[in-house]
Amino acid sequence: MSKENRYKMSAERLEELKKELIYLQTEREQEVAEQIREARSFGDLSENSEYDEAKTEQGKLYSKIAEIKDLIENAVIMEKSDEEGKVGIGSRVTVKDMSTGEREVYQIVGSQEANPMEGRISDDSPFGKGLYGHSVGETVKIDAPAGVLKFKIEKIEKD
C-alpha cells in the first residue's frame, strides 16, 4: 500500500473513529432512512424537495461512512515517544519565537489529529518535523513560506 494511503493517528483517535462509524451506520442511517420514508409519503417525487434533501443527506452520510472506513482500514498507530527529553509524538512543547519573543505551546500529534487552532501540530508538518527529536534549550530553524523562523525549545512535557 502506498504511503499516501496511510493515516497516522493515536490509538485513542482510532477508537473515536470506530465509535463514530458505528453511530453513522446505525442511528444516523436509520434517521436518514426515516426522513426518506416520510418524504416519499408526500407524493410526487419529481417535485418533492423534502425527498431531494433526504436523498442528498443520504449521499453525504454514505460518503462520510466510506471516508471513515478508509481512515480505519489504513490507520497507522503512532506510539508516543518514550525518548526522555526529546520532542516526539504526544509531546507538549513550549517554544519561544526568537524574532518576537512570544511563547507558544504545541502538542505534536499524528496527521489525523492535527488542529493548529488548538495547538495540535502534525508531526508531518514543517513545524512538527522541525521540532521532532530536539531537546530543551535547542534552537530550531523552520522553513516557512515567510522565510526561515527560529524557535527555542523551552519545555517538553509528555502526556
pLDDT in tens, 54-106: 999 999 999 999 999 999 998 888 776 566 778 888 889 999 999 899 999 99
Q: 144 is written with which cell numbers?
A: 516557512
Is residue 50 domain-shared with residue 106, that is, in the same domain? Answer: no
> How wide is the angle at C-alpha 129 spanned by C-alphas 134 and 77, nearest 5°?
100
Answer with the one of 77, 105, 138 that is the final residue of a domain. Answer: 77
Instruction: Give the per-residue pLDDT at 159.
Output: 67
Place of cell 531537546: 135
Is residue 107 domain-shared with residue 73, that is, in the same domain? Answer: no
Mean pLDDT (the chain, rounded): 87
pLDDT of 39-50, one tens digit each? Answer: 888 777 777 788
In whole angstroms, what is the distance from residue 63 CA to residue 119 CA?
A: 29
In whole angstroms, what is the distance from residue 149 CA to residue 127 CA?
A: 10
Q: Is residue 83 part of a domain?
A: no
Q: 61 is written with which cell numbers?
A: 452520510
If you average pLDDT over residues 3-26, what whole number do you get? 86
Instruction: Give the per-residue pLDDT at 80.
Output: 66
Instruction: Give the per-residue pLDDT at 7.
Output: 82
Q: Is residue 132 part of a domain?
A: yes
Instruction: Give the per-residue pLDDT at 40.
Output: 84
Q: How many domains does the chain have?
A: 2
Is residue 7 domain-shared with residue 63, that is, in the same domain? Answer: yes
pLDDT of 109-140, one tens digit each? Answer: 888 888 989 999 998 888 999 998 899 999 99
Range of the domain at 104: 91-158
In whole angstroms, what is the distance from residue 23 CA to residue 150 CA?
A: 44
Residue 55 sits at φ, ψ, to 5 deg, of -65, -35
In whole angstroms, what is the distance from residue 108 CA to residue 88 CA?
A: 7
